Amino acid sequence: MKYIGLIITTAFIFVCLFFALNKKEQTLKSPLLNKPIPEINLDGLVEDDKLNNNNFKNEVILVNFFASWCVPCIVEHDFLFELKKQKPIKIYGINYKDNIKNLKVWLVKLGNPYSKIGIDKTGITGINWGVNGIPESFLIDKNGIIKHKINGVIDEKQIKILLSKIELLEK
């Protein structure tokens, strides 16, 4: 009875430690979720085909930050085609701090799943969108609101999540 306080405190600390150590690694929620897309005004890969805020109207769009120098982006590329096969959604690519020559070669070699590609030469658009590291993707609703963010590669599991979210947003 004498040490009951000490025992309770120690047990509490151990329970906290147990939960803290067993917690699955979580990525922080983007503060941009449920907010309108940040300003975007990028030159396109194709001349005169700029990517700007006007391109985000009346349809659900996936925005994918990628680069030819990014190894995980190669892995993700096939999954983007898979997503389009399962749901013909528009995917806008934002090419992050890349070499245009390398990008063109990369797209010829791996194929082009993007409806539009904007060139973010300086990385400022990446910062505007709160990008930590590529690949990162954002699901945008018909009103230009960010509804979902994926940090890292879009894989089979993410495709399932995306498909259910797209279905909801298209209703």
- Interface residues with another protein (CB under 8 A) are 2, 5-6, 9, 28-32, 38, 97, 122-124, 126-133
Q: What angle do CA 112, 90, 61 make, to 5 degrees?
A: 130
Q: Which helix (H) or strand (E) holds 94?
A: strand 90-96
Q: Which is nearer to another protein, 39 or 167 (CB)?
A: 39
Q: Which is nearer to another protein, 124 or 161 (CB)?
A: 124
State the nearest-atom distance from the C-beta of 47 to another protein, in Å. 26
Pull the structure tokens for residue 156.
């089979």
Q: Which is nearer to another protein, 65 or 79 (CB)?
A: 65
Q: Which is nearer to another protein, 5 or 88 (CB)?
A: 5
Asked whether the beta carbons of 111 and 81 are under 8 A apart, the reply is: yes
Give the start-end residues of each E strand in the chain: 41-44, 51-52, 61-66, 90-96, 116-120, 136-140, 146-151
Amino acid identity of 34? N
State the nearest-atom distance from the C-beta of 130 to another protein, in Å. 4
State the nearest-atom distance from the C-beta of 35 to another protein, in Å. 9
